[in-house]
Amino acid sequence: MSDKSHDPNQMTGAAMIVRALIDHGVTDIFGYPGGAVLPIYDEIFQQSEVQHILVRHEQGAGHAAEGYARSTGKPGVALVTSGPGATNMVTPLTDALMDSIPLVCISGQVPTHLIGNDAFQECDTVGITRPCTKHNWLVRDVNDLAKVLHEAFYVATSGRPGPVLVDVPKDVQFATGTYHPPRKSDVHRSYAPRVKGDATQIRKAVSLLANAKRPVIYSGGGVINSGPEATKLLRELVEVTGFPITSTLMGLGAYPASGKNWLGMLGMHGTYEANMTMHDCDVMLCVGARFDDRITGRVDAFSPGSKKIHIDIDPSSINKNIRVDVPIIGDCGNILGDILQVFKAEAKKPDVKSWWQQIAQWRARNSLYYKKSDDVILPQHAIQSLFEATRGKDTYITTEVGQHQMWAAQFYGFEEPHRWMTSGGLGTMGYGLPAAVGVQVAHPDSLVIDIAGDASVQMTMQEMSTAVQYELPIKIFILNNQYMGMVRQWQQLLHGNRLSHSYSEALPDFVKLAEAYGAVGLQVYKPADLEGAIKEMISVKRPVLFDCRVAALENCFPMIPSGKAHNEMLLPEQANDEATAKAFAAGKALV
């Protein structure tokens, strides 16, 4: 045996963590130091391969890592201390779990001998994060650390991606042990996600698709998670079949919004043509989406006459909400490839001309209509102007949660995947600003815009300070209507117009706030000034808070009222106060 002191694989736990990050190709991490992670921060200080971005709140680190992950397809990494550092990560971990985002969180823990003693800044981190991670580990022995870290990266990025957490007590960080580079045996033998789809099921699917009269492709975030090949194959499938395609909020960009078969987003605030196509179709191909309740509307009236094919890598997504006829478990890209191969070999392009004529009639209803004004900026118009001003540019969009998010999904056209970062499943207000920080770190020369609301953006506003420190020129485009717009919309529709606590009094002066942070503040009231102001925002090479004052009482349409089916959408031209009240009263009267 050689002298252990010269073995390069002998190192402290803290050094192992940094080494593992490097071995997994991590170049940027987001974190906040504290007592239980100081040995790791000491290691970070003494190297230059991994850049650490200091956030202002651990939640910001988590969302920044999510933005980083969503915009690159690589795992995002966050480093936080024990106790409050870990509890502040609960929201981003849950967010990443709901939206299948690969996230590796490393948390410090009090020394092993103090665990369970209610020590200073102690909490049961693995207990608290068990339901909000794909898997988590508490490492009690430094010689297990390398294996656990490698497994953590594998679990986060393979199968259905998701967040993982590795909790490392401080004594384990100090202790010396043996490191090894990633190897296959690091992974639980019980974990083997299925990639390849069943050939018989694929044949069944192709036969349904080839004989479809009224088909629709409904794609989701899984296509984007699967990687660039899946996106390419999805586009090819649409081309080869000539089928109409719609997508969930998470799936926007997999098929280009300018594509001729694009129906727009579906679901509660989706387009009329997308929802009607879903409702009346005879064959539905769901790729990497999960029939979530914002998508289906009333479950027992969801697309009643169709045969449904569902491709998903997670078997638990199958038959969870909607019973499907042909489930295919595996990776979207892999299965789309197989479907295409069989389809091209055995089927000819189905005749869907009359189906498209029907769709054209639905499209003619112009469900995203809104009335422009010369006096006040309509939020939809603001997004359209932003889209026009950034068209063709290398742009990434993040959002917060609420009306502005839905308008962004409706009016900003995404041409490529990984360009749209939004909190879909969890609906986390405050996601967009830190996510933009993460995206900008990953793409320093790109244009990164957070389409925000005045309420959401205040939840994580402190990360402006991070953006200024690291010279990240993110643009925070606030649709300021001085309300929690979506909350107010529901109160108007469902709670007798009693606007309980949905109005923000004492909003900050966003321009002064920007200046206080050392960023740039812009404000615009008039439609005539909008275009120029957006141009200015884009040209500024510093972080910008853009206070776009919009029509205060504008609501988000079209929408599927609660308890209604896809073919019972409320369209904007019907959405005057009286009609809206009626549509909802019909549901309420039965209570």
Partner 1 sequence: MNQPASAYFIEDRHDPNETHTLAVLVQNEPGVLARVIGLFSGRGYNIESLTVSETEAQKHLSRITIVTTGTPMVIEQIKHQLDRMIPVYRVVDMTQTKRSIERELAMVKVRGQGEHRVEALRLADAFRARVIDATTESFVFEITGNTDKINQYIDLMRPLGLVEVSRTGVAAIGRGPEGM
Active site residues: 58, 120-121, 170, 486
Amino acid code (one letter) for 280: D
Q: In this chain, which of 134, 170, 307, 404 binds partner 1, going by CB under 8 A?
A: 134
Q: What single-letter DSSP state applies at residue 476? A: E
**Counting contacts by CB under 8 A, is residue 499 touching partner 1?**
no
Beta-strand relationship, 283-287 and 262-265 = unpaired
Least distance between partner 1 and beta carbon 366 (Å): 26
Q: Which is nearer to partner 1, 34 or 402 (CB)?
A: 402
Q: Which is nearer to partner 1, 318 or 479 (CB)?
A: 318
**Counting contacts by CB under 8 A, is residue 127 touching partner 1?**
yes
What are the structure tokens assigned to 393, written together? Answer: 């540019």
CA distance linking residue 528 with residue 549, whole number of Å: 13
Closest alpha carbon to 155 in 108, 194, 103: 103
Least distance between partner 1 and beta carbon 314 (Å): 6
Q: In this chain, which of 504, 562, 567, 574 binds partner 1, going by CB under 8 A?
A: 562
**Counting contacts by CB under 8 A, is residue 315 touching partner 1?**
yes
| Residue-wise burial string across 234-253, b where 16 or more C-beta atoms lie within 10 A, e elsewhere | bbebbeebbbbbbbbbbbbb
Only one of the segments 70-78, 213-221, 289-297, 438-446 lies at the binding site for partner 1 (rule: CB under 8 A); that segment is 289-297
Least distance between partner 1 and beta carbon 190 (Å): 4
**Counting contacts by CB under 8 A, is residue 591 touching partner 1?**
yes
Closest alpha carbon to 158 in 313, 23, 24, 29: 313
**Counting contacts by CB under 8 A, is residue 316 touching partner 1?**
yes
Q: Which is nearer to partner 1, 320 or 365 (CB)?
A: 320
What are the structure tokens assigned to 305, written together? Answer: 């006459």
Least distance between partner 1 and beta carbon 512 (Å): 35
**Counting contacts by CB under 8 A, is residue 179 touching partner 1?**
no
**Counting contacts by CB under 8 A, is residue 529 touching partner 1?**
no
* Region class of 3: left (phi > 0), else alpha (psi between -120 and 50), else beta: beta
Amino acid code (one letter) for 451: I
Q: Which is nearer to partner 1, 302 or 517 (CB)?
A: 302
**Counting contacts by CB under 8 A, is residue 590 touching partner 1?**
yes
Q: Which is nearer to partner 1, 158 or 246 (CB)?
A: 158
Q: Which is nearer to partner 1, 320 or 443 (CB)?
A: 320
Only one of the segments 134-142, 218-226, 249-257, 269-277 lies at the binding site for partner 1 (rule: CB under 8 A); that segment is 134-142
The helix (H) or strand (E) run that includes residue 144 is helix 142-157
Only one of the segments 186-194, 217-225, 362-370, 406-414 lies at the binding site for partner 1 (rule: CB under 8 A); that segment is 186-194
Least distance between partner 1 and beta carbon 159 (Å): 8
**Counting contacts by CB under 8 A, is residue 297 touching partner 1?**
yes
**Counting contacts by CB under 8 A, is residue 182 touching partner 1?**
no
Q: In this chain, which of 38, 494, 511, 581 binds partner 1, going by CB under 8 A?
A: 494
Task: Identify residues 408-427 at the interface with partner 1 (CB under 8 A).
Answer: none
Q: In this chain, which of 4, 113, 130, 512 binds partner 1, going by CB under 8 A?
A: 130
Q: In this chain, which of 46, 190, 357, 539 binds partner 1, going by CB under 8 A?
A: 190
**Counting contacts by CB under 8 A, is residue 185 touching partner 1?**
no
Beta-strand relationship, 176-178 and 10-12 = antiparallel
Amino acid code (one letter) for 163: P
In angstroms, the first-to-last Cα distance of the chain is 78
CA distance linking residue 362 with residue 550, whole number of Å: 29
Place of tokens 């998010």: 405
| Residue-wise burial string across 523-552, b where 16 or more C-beta atoms lie within 10 A, e elsewhere | bbbebeebeebbeebbeeeebbbbbbbbbe
Max Cα distance, the chain (Å):
85
DSSP code per residue over 426-446: S--TT-HHHHHHHHHHH-TTS
CA distance linking residue 588 with residue 591, whole number of Å: 5
Only one of the segments 28-36, 233-241, 314-322, 460-468 lies at the binding site for partner 1 (rule: CB under 8 A); that segment is 314-322
Residues 6+ apart with CB under 8 A from 556: 269, 403, 406, 407, 485, 486, 489
Q: What single-letter DSSP state applies at residue 167? A: E
Least distance between partner 1 and beta carbon 342 (Å): 26
CA distance linking residue 126 with residue 108, whole number of Å: 11
Only one of the segments 14-22, 75-83, 291-299, 340-348 lies at the binding site for partner 1 (rule: CB under 8 A); that segment is 291-299
Contact 533, 557 (CB under 8 A): no
Which is it for the CA torsion 8, 12, 13, 14, positive or negative?
negative
Q: In this chain, which of 47, 196, 213, 299 binds partner 1, going by CB under 8 A?
A: 299
Least distance between partner 1 and beta carbon 562 (Å): 5
Q: In this chain, which of 174, 495, 525, 542 binds partner 1, going by CB under 8 A?
A: 495
**Counting contacts by CB under 8 A, is residue 135 touching partner 1?**
yes
Neighbours of 74 (CB within 10 A): 17
Contact 485, 465 (CB under 8 A): no
Binding residues for partner 1, rule: CB under 8 A, are: 126-127, 130-131, 134-135, 138, 155, 160, 188-191, 293, 296-300, 314-316, 318-320, 323, 490, 494-495, 562-563, 584, 587-588, 590-591
